[in-house]
């Protein structure tokens, strides 16, 4: 399945707040769909599926990409759920979003794809690039890139930049000082249910 390009508010009504997908809020309180009012107690599988879908839609991944990241997280020593979230949070598109240089992850992805972003003074157009502690992020010197970023910075974003990131707003540069900790992840999710969902795959 390719990346989701449909109505975003429909997804947030079903899954809850997804800060990476959209900053818009729906005025409707019931879940999307014809049977939104018939709220039944979800099964264990439905709960796990919902948490997995939150990750997919928030970070803009397809099923294959998410499964690959889960397998990579299992190879690393430590809590698989937290390591998976750290892998997703340290993606270049998400890092640009968390620096408030873009209002959403899809907007950050477009910046990266169009060559506006440099890592360690080299142009990087791969959204899934894994940022590492010590990496230096800068914006292309083109006037179009600078005006686009400044326009994005005026859009409402997340309240705080995580402690592992450091942004120089004047020069539009940033440095990654470490790996994000669990408390700084903006998405409300139970990562253990995601790992349980993939345990048999």
Grade residue 95 by pLDDT with cuts at 50, 70 and 90: very high
- Indicate if 18 and 39 belong to the same structural domain: yes
Q: Is residue 2 part of a domain?
A: no
- Indicate if 69 and 39 belong to the same structural domain: yes
- Indicate if 115 and 191 belong to the same structural domain: no
pLDDT tens-place string over residues 117-174:
999 999 999 999 999 999 999 998 788 888 888 888 877 666 678 888 998 888 889 9
- What percent of the chain stands above pLDDT 90? 31
- Indicate if 75 and 109 belong to the same structural domain: no
Q: Is residue 143 part of a domain?
A: yes
| Burial annotation 88-125 (CB, 10 A radius, 16+ → b, else e) | bbbbbbbbbbbbbbbbbbbbbbbbbeeebbbbeeeebe
Q: Is residue 1 part of a domain?
A: no
Count of CB atoms situated within 10 Å of the CB of 151: 10
Residue 18 domain boundaries: 8-87+186-198
Grade residue 93 by pLDDT with cuts at 50, 70 and 90: very high
Q: What is the DSSP string of 31-90?
A: PSSTTTT---PPPHHHHHHHHHHHHHHHHT--HHHHHHHHHHHHTSSS-HHHHHHHHHHT
Residues 77-100, mean pLDDT to the nearest whole number: 91
Our count of domains for the chain comes to: 2
CATH of the domain at 152: 3.10.290.10
């Amino acid at each position: 399945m390719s990346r989701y390009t449909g109505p975003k508010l429909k997804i947030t009504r079903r899954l809850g707040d997804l800060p990476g997908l959209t900053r818009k809020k729906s005025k409707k309180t019931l879940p999307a769909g014809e049977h939104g009012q018939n709220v039944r107690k979800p099964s264990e599988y439905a709960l796990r599926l919902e948490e997995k879908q939150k990750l997919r839609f928030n970070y803009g991944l397809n099923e294959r990409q998410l499964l690959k990241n889960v397998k990579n997280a299992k190879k690393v020593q430590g809590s698989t759920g937290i390591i998976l979230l750290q892998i997703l949070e340290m993606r270049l598109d998400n890092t640009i979003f968390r620096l408030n240089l873009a209002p959403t992850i899809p907007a950050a992805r477009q910046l990266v794809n169009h060559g506006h972003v440099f890592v360690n003074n080299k142009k990087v157009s791969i959204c899934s690039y894994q940022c590492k502690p010590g990496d230096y992020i800068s914006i292309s010197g083109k006037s179009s890139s600078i005006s686009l970023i400044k326009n994005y910075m005026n859009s409402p974003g997340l309240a705080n930049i995580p402690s592992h990131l450091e942004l120089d707003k004047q020069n539009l540069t940033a440095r990654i000082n470490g790996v994000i900790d669990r408390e700084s992840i903006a998405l409300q999710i139970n990562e253990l249910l995601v790992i349980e969902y993939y345990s048999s795959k």
